[in-house]
Amino acid sequence: MRIPCPVCGLRSVSEFTYEGDATVLRPPLEADGDTWFATVYERRNPRGPHAELWHHTQGCRCFVEVERDTATHAILSARLVTPTGAGI
């Protein structure tokens, strides 16, 4: 599997660290227990297209949001993200 890093180009998956479901965003600290429980523990875990974060630890060290089909490993899109989750 190779991931198209927007900065470095097509690179081996072994250069990246998986950071999980990109749709899960940290709530504000004062959010209630149920919200934090959902953020920390609950995942949709779909078979099919999955938005996920990959950290290019052995490359540019940027965070890349990748849409990937979990049934086939086909990569559908990739874009850089900021710490707040917004695209660049």
Partner 1 sequence: MRYSIGSLALNALTGQRYWPLAWRKAEPRPAYDVVIVGGGGHGLATAYYLAKEHGITNVAVLEKGWLGSGNIGRNTTIIRSNYMLPDNTRFYEWSLKLWENLSRELNFNTMVSQRGVINLAHTPAQLDAYARRGNAMRLAGVDAELLDRDELARRVPGLDLSETARFPIVGGLCQPRGGTVRHDAVAWGYARAADRLGVDIIENCAVTGFTFDGDRVTGVETTRGTIGAGKVGVAVAGSTSEVMRLAGFDRLPIESHVLQAFVSEGLKPFLDTVVTFGAGHLYISQSDKGGLVFGGDIDGYNSYAQRGNLPIVEDVAASAVTMFPSLSRLRLLRSWGGIMDMSMDGSPIIDKTPKPGLYLNAGWCYGGFKATPASGWCFSHTIARDAPHPLNAGFALDRFRTGALLDERGAGATPRLH
Given the rule CB under 8 A, which of 55-63, 64-72, 76-84 is the region that contacts partner 1?
Answer: 64-72
Tokens encoding 50: 């999955």
Q: Which residue from 60, 87, 74, 69 is spatially nearest to 5, judged by alpha carbons?
A: 60
Cβ at position 77, least distance to partner 1 in Å: 16
Q: Does 26 bind partner 1 (CB under 8 A)?
A: no
Given the rule CB under 8 A, which of 35-43, 56-64, 79-87 is the region that contacts partner 1?
Answer: 35-43
Q: Does 11 bind partner 1 (CB under 8 A)?
A: no
**In whole angstroms, how large is the CA radius of gyration of the chain?**
14
Angle (nearest 5°) at CA 55 between 66 and 34: 75
Cβ at position 72, least distance to partner 1 in Å: 6
* Side chain identity at residue 70, one-letter code: T
